[in-house]
Amino acid sequence: MQKNHFLRKLSSLLILSAVLVLLGTLLGSLGASWNMPGSDQTILFDIRLPRSLGAYLAGALLGLAGGIAQSLFRNPLADPYLLGSASGALLGVGSILCFAYLGNSWLEIIGLNGGAFLGALLGVLASLLLAGGYRSSLRLLLSGVVISVILGAANSLFTFIRPDLFQSIQSFMLGNTSLLNWSGVGLMAIALSLCLVITLIISPVLDALSLGESTARTLGLPLDQLRLILIGILALATGCAVAQTGLVAFVGLAAPHLVRKLSGGRQRVQLIFSCLGGGILLLSSDLIARTVFAPIEIPVGVVTAVLGGLYLLVLLRQTSFRARS
The pLDDT, as a whole number, for residue 215 is 66
- Spell out a b/e string for 276-298, using b for 16 or more CB atoms within 10 Å of the CB, else e: bbbbbbbbbbbbbbbbeeeeebe
Indicate the domain borders of the chain. 2-324
Nearby residues of 297 by Cβ (< 8 Å), 6 or more positions away:
29, 178, 289, 290
pLDDT of residue 52: 93
Q: State the pLDDT at residue 275.
A: 94
DSSP string, 237-306: HHHHHHHHH----SHHHHHHHHHHHHHTT-HHHHHHHHHHHHHHHHHHHHHHHHHTTTTSPPPHHHHHHH
pLDDT at 272: 92
Cβ atoms of 284 and 291 closer than 8 Å: no
Superfamily of domain 2-324: ABC transporter involved in vitamin B12 uptake, BtuC (1.10.3470.10)
Mean pLDDT of 130-159: 82
**Cβ proximity of 206 and 76 under 8 Å:** no
Residue 310 confidence (pLDDT): 83
pLDDT, average across residues 145-153:
87
pTM (2 d.p.): 0.88
Asked if 87 and 147 touch (Cβ cutoff 8 Å), the reply is: yes
Interval 273-290: pLDDT, tens: 999 999 999 999 999 988
Determine the Cα–Cα distance for residues 51 and 176; give it in Å rounded to an integer.
10
User: What would the pLDDT profile of 225-241 be if each residue is shown by its tens digit?
Assistant: 778 888 888 888 988 89
Is the model's pLDDT at 102 over the cut of 70?
Answer: no
